[in-house]
Amino acid sequence: MKKSIIALSLLMTLSPLSAFAATAPLDLVGPVSDYKLYVTEEIAELVTQTQAFTAAINQGDLATAKKLYAPTRVHYESIEPIAELFSDLDASIDSRVDDHEKGVTAEDFTGFHRIEYALFSQNSTQGLEALTAKLNTDVNDLKTRVDGLTFPPEKVVGGAAALLEEVAATKISGEEDRYSHTDLYDFQGNIDGAKKIVDLFRGQIEKQDKAFLAKVDKNFATVDKILAKYKTLDGGFQTYDKVKENDRKALVGPVNTLAEDLSTLRGKLGLN
Amino acid sequence: MSSPTPQPAPPSRALRWAVAGSVVVMIAAGGLFYYASQLAASKRQANHNEITVTIHGHACEPNALTVPAGHASFRIVNRSDRAVEWEILDGVLVVEERENIAPGLSQVINANLQPGDYAITCGLLSNPRGTLRVTPTAQSDAQAKAKPSMVAFIGPLSEFRVYLSAQGSALVKATGALRHAIEAGDLAQAQALYVPAREAYQRLAPAAQRLAELDNAINARADYFEQREQDPAFSGFHRLEYGLFQQRSLDGLTPIAQRLVNDVTTLKQQLLAQSLPPEQLVGSVVRNLNSLADVRAASGEEERYSHIDLNGFAANLQVAHKVVDLMRPLLNKSAADLLPTIDSTLAAFDSELQGFKVDGGFARYDSITADQRKQIADKAKALAAALDGIDPALGLSGLQ
């Protein structure tokens, strides 16, 4: 009893948070619903652009198909916290060759990375009809399911950290788009998706911890600045093999710090 | 020889104080150490409950898990030769996951689990799925019976705000199309486009009625004006309806239509800017259904010139349906006994309205008899009464 009183008073003196009121749950309704509106728009883009991308493949237009690959899938990467909730579709749309025991020949290896393999490694648009049809069906299915999903607030807020963990694990190493080397598009997509979440909850985060927000903003700016060096004139990105060693290293620090910092967001907003 | 052995000098007062002081410090430090070690012990206790799962090349070890409900920690050790993932699935939906666990490394997943049976994806997609059984505890049973907290309403209320946004956009679009037909001088087209615009409005009506002044500009009937239809202030949907269906003339309707487009655009913005507490979400739908049952069904006064009242009632029912769907998970958890009545009254009202469908559309309301109108009112009333039970059952009005 006494011990807990001591601990409590210690906590009250030491914790700077005790001065702030907790986030009112109803204040999170606006940002969570605005996030769904954002995800809905991104999926609409994914559906439309997947149609154009797969049409190019089916017409045998290899050059156009290659050009459309990265800008199309970036709309998947930016909304991964929600898209990944549907494990079956995530596997059929975005699984990598490593997820399949039989590698590229695995029958259930479908989706963007299987098509990427054909376009960029085999340099061919031949025999992809079944894969392109399935990709269209899958992204449409994803749209229907997301429309019907009540977004769990903790997944929305936790999504910022999940996106940065994804960057840390697969983007800096350049293994996500190993045939096309278009990783920087995905990289930017993940970062933009995470920044969107921070921006939507900015008002609530600021009330809880201003210094935290300043630090997060600074690290986002650092990452954006490095990525901007590799932007091309058409608004796209250079291939990942062009990224200099010192820039890869310079990305590690801010990305890891962001992943760590953003993982505290749920707690800050009372969603643990 | 007899040199006197030097006596130790008596300890100085300062030293005595120092010794006493250090004893105090030692006791204090000991106390702190004890406190810290207690803290560490309780932390170890938490880690002690960590469940280790090892991913091998073709399966997980163990692949069948049983844990009590509540917080659980899983340490996932990857002993396969690829970066893989481990997920807890509820159907196809991911509850918690760790992706890209590097070979030879481990990661911890913290989950807050509800009782039930879950599947586990374990490494390669072709690997057999594992099972996770979460057993109820006294605490989880108590939680299941407890009324939900405000946090539980963030999801449903957000989804309703998304609904308001989508329906608001639909209303702006449909009203814009109606305006174009009026401006183009196409009476038949304007009469046709009045219907979808009203349906869009009626899907927002429960929420819109909270914005009294703006809602009057959009939806006030002639009775609210001193000189009724002849009153220069009479505007909005029903002024258009009067022109289109009673006078069968587009004279003077263009400025009314333009103002209506502005007003519904403002309506959408204000609906999104308003904070809607949970008791209002349900309460506004109950009020809307009661006004249907007590007034609108019997009189047919709402669409007195166009007689498209049934379209409006069906749209009102759609909102009620939406709200029930959003509350369903919470009702299932905390007030499941309400659901059979809610669902049966929803279905009864729906089939009553569907009975008036002719050639894919609704019959004109002036063809509906007094008996039939009473049936419609009764069904709406029964639904309103069933929905009225949600507030006390979930404790909406006393939420913290």
pLDDT digits (tens, 9 = 90+) for A7-50: 444 444 444 444 457 889 999 999 999 999 999 999 999 999 99
Per-residue confidence band for B18, with pLDDT thresholds at 50, 70 and 90 = low
**For residue A172, is it within any domain?**
yes
**For residue A21, is it within any domain?**
no
Distance CA(B118)–CA(B7), nearest Å, equals 81
Query: Which residue in A has a C-alpha nearest to residue B163's C-alpha?
Result: A33
Q: Which two tokens stand for residue A40?
A: 């809905």
Which pLDDT value is given to residue A18?
43
Q: Which residue of B58, B92, B158 is in closest CB contact with A88?
A: B92
* Cβ–Cβ pairs < 8 A, chains A and B: 103
Q: Mean pLDDT throughout B283-308?
A: 96
Query: Which residue in A has a C-alpha nearest to residue B57's C-alpha?
Result: A101
The values of phi and psi at residue A117, to 5°, are -60, -45
Which pLDDT value is given to residue A19?
45
CB contacts of A101 in chain B (<8 Å) are 58, 124, 126-127
- Confirm or reject contact between A85 and chain B (CB < 8 A): yes
Distance CA(B158)–CA(A3), nearest Å, equals 42
- Cα B320 to Cα B204, B313, B387: the distances in Å are 11, 11, 9
Percent of chain B with pLDDT over 90: 68
- Cα B210 to Cα B157, B204, B290, B392, B399: the distances in Å are 16, 11, 15, 22, 21
User: Which string of DSSP letters, residue by residue, matches A70-126?
Assistant: HHHHHHHHTTHHHHTTBHHHHHHHH--GGGSTTGGG-TT--SHHHHHIIIIIS---T
Q: Mean pLDDT throughout A98-103?
A: 90
The yes/no answer to whether this complex scores an ipTM above 0.90 is no
The parent domain of residue A189 ranges over 28-269
Which pLDDT value is given to residue B45?
43
Which pLDDT value is given to residue B135?
94
Instruction: Mutate one of B34, B71, B125 to test the A interface: name it (highest A CB count within 10 A).
Output: B125
Write the burial class of residue B105 (CB in 10 Å: 0-12 exposed, 13-18 middle, 19+ buried).
Answer: exposed
Distance CA(A149)–CA(B339), nearest Å, equals 20
Q: Mean pLDDT throughout B152-161?
A: 96
**For residue A14, is it within any domain?**
no
Rg of chain B over CA atoms, in angstroms?
34
Which pLDDT value is given to residue B15?
61
Read off the amino acid at residue B11. Answer: P
Would you say B187 and B250 are in contact if contact means Cβ atoms under 8 Å apart? yes
Read off the amino acid at residue A129. Answer: E
- Confirm or reject contact between B14 and chain A (CB < 8 A): no
- Cα B96 to Cα B53, B113, B128: the distances in Å are 15, 10, 18
Closest CA to A216 of A230, A199, A203, A228: A199
Which pLDDT value is given to residue A22?
83
Would you say B312 and B198 are in contact if contact means Cβ atoms under 8 Å apart? yes
Contact between chains at A151 and B329 (C-beta distance less than 8 A): no
Contact between chains at B157 and A29 (C-beta distance less than 8 A): yes
**For residue A11, is it within any domain?**
no
Which pLDDT value is given to residue B32?
57
Bigger pLDDT: A23 vs A91: A91
Which pLDDT value is given to residue A11?
45
pTM for the full predicted model: 0.83
CB contacts of B149 in chain A (<8 Å) are 25
- Confirm or reject contact between A142 and chain B (CB < 8 A): no
Would you say B281 and B157 are in contact if contact means Cβ atoms under 8 Å apart? yes
Q: Of A50-64, B60-74, B313-327, where does mean pLDDT reach its minimum?
A: B60-74
Q: Of A36-50, A241-255, B87-101, B365-379, where does mean pLDDT reach its minimum?
A: B87-101
**Exposure on the CB side of residue B322, measured as CA atoms within 13 A:** 26
Percent of chain A with pLDDT over 90: 85
B161-217: per-residue pLDDT in tens?
999 999 999 999 999 999 999 999 999 999 999 999 999 999 999 999 889 889 999
- Confirm or reject contact between B333 and chain A (CB < 8 A): no
Q: Which residue of B84, B125, B154 is in closest CB contact with A91?
A: B125
Sign of the alpha-carbon torsion through B209, B215, B220, B224: positive
**For residue A5, is it within any domain?**
no
Residue B367's SS3 state is helix
Contact between chains at A85 and B93 (C-beta distance less than 8 A): yes
* Residue indicated by tokens 């590698």: A103
Task: Give the total number of structural domains in chain A.
Answer: 1
Q: Which residue of A84, A100, A270 is in closest CB contact with B125?
A: A100
Per-residue confidence band for A145, with pLDDT thresholds at 50, 70 and 90 = very high
Closest CA to B384 of B315, B308, B317: B317
First to last CA, chain A: 26
Percent of chain A with pLDDT over 70: 93
Distance CA(A227)–CA(B111), nearest Å, equals 34
Q: Which residues in chain B belong to E strands, given as ranges?
A: 51-55, 60-61, 64-68, 70-78, 84-90, 93-101, 106-113, 116-122, 130-135, 357-358, 361-362
Q: What is the mean pLDDT of chain B?
A: 89
Q: Which residue of B84, B93, B149 is in closest CB contact with A86?
A: B93
CATH label of the domain that carries residue A225: 1.20.1420.20
- Cα B127 to Cα A90, A144, B259: the distances in Å are 16, 28, 62
On the question of pLDDT at A105 being above 50, the answer is: yes
Per-residue confidence band for A176, with pLDDT thresholds at 50, 70 and 90 = confident
Ordered by where they begin, the domains of chain B are 51-135 (2.60.40.420), 151-391 (1.20.1420.20)
- Confirm or reject contact between B227 and chain A (CB < 8 A): no
CB contacts of A91 in chain B (<8 Å) are 125
Q: What is the mean pLDDT of chain A?
A: 91
User: Which string of DSSP letters, residue by residue, matches A49-85?
Assistant: HHHHHHHHHHTT-HHHHHHHHHHHHHHHHTTHHHHTT
**For residue A159, is it within any domain?**
yes
Q: Which two tokens stand for residue B309?
A: 């009242």
Which pLDDT value is given to residue B399?
76
Would you say A148 and B150 are in contact if contact means Cβ atoms under 8 Å apart? no
**For residue A18, is it within any domain?**
no
Buried-exposed string B166-198: b where 16+ CB fall within 10 A, e elsewhere: ebbebbbebbbbbbebbeeeebeebbebbbbbb
- Confirm or reject contact between A89 and chain B (CB < 8 A): yes
How many angstroms away from the CA of A173 is the closest CA of chain B?
12
Closest CA to B356 of B342, B373, B377: B373
How many angstroms away from the CA of B296 is the closest CA of chain A?
32
Query: Which residue in B has a C-alpha nearest to residue A82's C-alpha?
Result: B94
**For residue A233, is it within any domain?**
yes
Contact between chains at A25 and B151 (C-beta distance less than 8 A): yes
Query: Which residue in B has a C-alpha nearest to residue A152's C-alpha?
Result: B155
Cis? peptide before B206, omega within 30° of 0 = no
How many angstroms away from the CA of A194 is the closest CA of chain B?
17
B216-275: per-residue pLDDT in tens?
999 999 999 999 999 999 999 999 999 999 999 999 999 999 999 999 999 999 999 988
CB contacts of A85 in chain B (<8 Å) are 93-94
User: Edge-to-edge strands of the sheet including B116-122?
Assistant: B64-68, B130-135, B116-122, B84-90, B93-101
Would you say B67 and B51 are in contact if contact means Cβ atoms under 8 Å apart? yes
Q: Which residue of B82, B89, B165 is in closest CB contact with A87?
A: B89
B94-146: per-residue pLDDT in tens?
888 888 788 888 888 888 898 999 999 888 888 888 999 999 999 888 877 77
| Count of residues in chain B | 400
Among A residues 13-52, those touching chain B with beta carbons less than 8 Å apart: 24-26, 28-30, 32-33, 36-37, 40
- Confirm or reject contact between B326 and chain A (CB < 8 A): yes
CB contacts of B150 in chain A (<8 Å) are 24-26
Closest CA to A6 of B31, B40, B23, B43: B31
Q: Which residue of B87, B150, B158 is in closest CB contact with A87?
A: B87
Per-residue confidence band for B16, with pLDDT thresholds at 50, 70 and 90 = low
